[in-house]
Amino acid sequence: MNILVTGGLGFIGSHTVVELVSAGHTPIIVDDLVNSKLEVLNRIEKLTHVRPVFYELDLCEEEKLDMVFQAHPIDAVIHFAGLKAVGESVGKPLEYYSNNLGSTLSLLRRMVAHGVKNLIFSSSATVYGTPPSLPIKEDFPLGETTNPYGTSKAMIERILSDFCKANPDFNIALLRYFNPIGAHASGELGEDPNGIPNNLMPYVTQVVVGRRPYLTVFGDDYDTPDGTCIRDYIHVVDLAIGHVMTLKKLVQNPGLVIYNLGTGKGTSVFEVLEAFEKGTGVKVPYKVGPRRPGDLPRLYANCDKAFEELGYKATRTVEEACRDAYNFQKKNPNGIE
């Protein structure tokens, strides 16, 4: 199938493009390079021996986006593009709402105009807010989001579900990611954030290659076995494979479907640091600091639905993800240049 991949040069997008090619699909990439590098396209080519068609484009530029739909018969869209820094979104709400919502609306209008009826949307476990119990299931009520990034994901989910009701011949999958970490085993693709990393794993890898002196662990006084927060870390390659498996389901015309993509297993910050040392032989220098506002003590997924309906199960361990993330950072100490 021809798959339009928005944000296809980003962290999750690029890994998904590689898995799409190996499953025999033809990705067509649209990316505005705001938070990614053109060099990623060379890396994809090196890994897959295919150079996907690429358009440097902001999805809000609807006329230009229309030309992409005119140029290619597209079977499905995977929509990764969007601003994603939780902290930054608090200071720049208008940018986050206009970019993340505007790009999705423009994409939906072009899909309608060209009769493209299959869409996978990158959502986030953040839409659950504080869950009533654990593990988190897809039918839990949506919770209170605490920042414009998370709210933009929840709003887009709502828009897509209203849209699907009004257009029952459309098939839309909302994939709620837990915590993607790791990198391609080759070390060619990985997480390469602009500026100071917000997320745990890229911060850790920048510390161990000497770009930052130590990791600050945000609180060790939570009500968890070792006092640090627990998350469900999923290897980015497993996450990418989840998209390819969701595509198969979409073309069977299911309407709106929602899946958690996680592992079902909770891992604390201290356990991540242990896994890092085990997987790489390198100790991570850290200091314990205060809690980060908004962090919840425990979040992990129930992944039964994706297994039952898609046959999907994440198989890579946190230790493998640490090893792959370290390998990427060692090969690309200053990120992808």
Task: Give Rg (Cα) of the chain.
Answer: 19
Coil, strand or helix at 220: coil
- 180 phi and psi angles, rounded to 5 deg: -70, 130
Cα torsion 197, 203, 207, 208 to 10°: value is -130
Question: Does residue number 190 form part of the binding site for ligand UFG (CB under 6 A)?
Answer: no
Among 125, 257, 261, 273, binds ligand UFG (CB under 6 A): 125
318 counts as binding ligand UFG under rule CB under 6 A: no
In angstroms, rounded to a whole number, what is the distance separating the alpha carbons of residues 137 and 32?
34
Name the one range near ligand UFG by CB under 6 A: 21-29, 112-120, 211-219, 319-327: 211-219
The rounded distance, in Å, linking the Cα atoms of 55 and 59 is 10
* Contact residue for ligand UFG among 23, 26, 167, 218 (CB under 6 A): 218
Give the tokens for residue 189. 């693709």
Token pair of 25 as six digits? 């699909």
**Residue 18 vs 125, nearer CB to ligand UFG:** 125
Decide if residue 303 touches ligand UFG (CB under 6 A): no
Query: Of residues 223-252, which lie at the interface with ligand UFG (CB under 6 A)?
Result: 229, 231
Q: Which of 26, 167, 198, 224 binds ligand UFG (CB under 6 A)?
A: 198
DSSP tag of 136: B
User: What is residue 261's three-state secondary structure?
Assistant: strand
Q: Does 299 bind ligand UFG (CB under 6 A)?
A: yes
Show which residues are catalytic. Answer: 149
CB of 52 to ligand UFG, least distance (A): 26
Q: Which stretch binds ligand UFG (CB under 6 A): 92-100, 107-115, 123-131, 235-243?
A: 123-131
Using rule CB under 6 A, residue 322 touches ligand UFG:
no
Site string for ligand UFG, 7-36 (x = CB under 6 A): ------------------------------
First to last CA, the chain: 31
Residue 275 binds ligand UFG (CB under 6 A): no
- By CB under 6 A, residue 124 contacts ligand UFG: yes
Q: What angle (nearest 5°) sits at the alpha carbon of residue 13, between those of residues 7 and 14? A: 115
DSSP codes of every residue in 19-31:
HHHHTT-EEEEEE
Instruction: Quote the strand ranges of 53-200, DSSP E.
Output: 53-56, 76-79, 118-124, 171-177, 179-181
Residue 161 touches ligand UFG, criterion: CB under 6 A: no
Nearer to ligand UFG, 150 or 279 (CB): 150
Stretch that binds ligand UFG, among 68-76, 124-132, 185-193, 248-256 (CB under 6 A): 124-132
Q: Is 140 in the site for ligand UFG (CB under 6 A)?
A: no
Q: Cα(19)–Cα(121) distance, rounded to whole angstroms?
A: 17
Amino acid at 79: H
Among 146, 167, 199, 224, binds ligand UFG (CB under 6 A): 199
Kindly give the pairing relationship between strand 76-79 and strand 2-6: parallel
Residue 176 as a binder of ligand UFG (CB under 6 A): the answer is: no
Q: Which residues bind ligand UFG (CB under 6 A)?
A: 84, 86, 124-126, 150, 179, 198-200, 203, 215-218, 229, 231, 269, 292, 295, 299
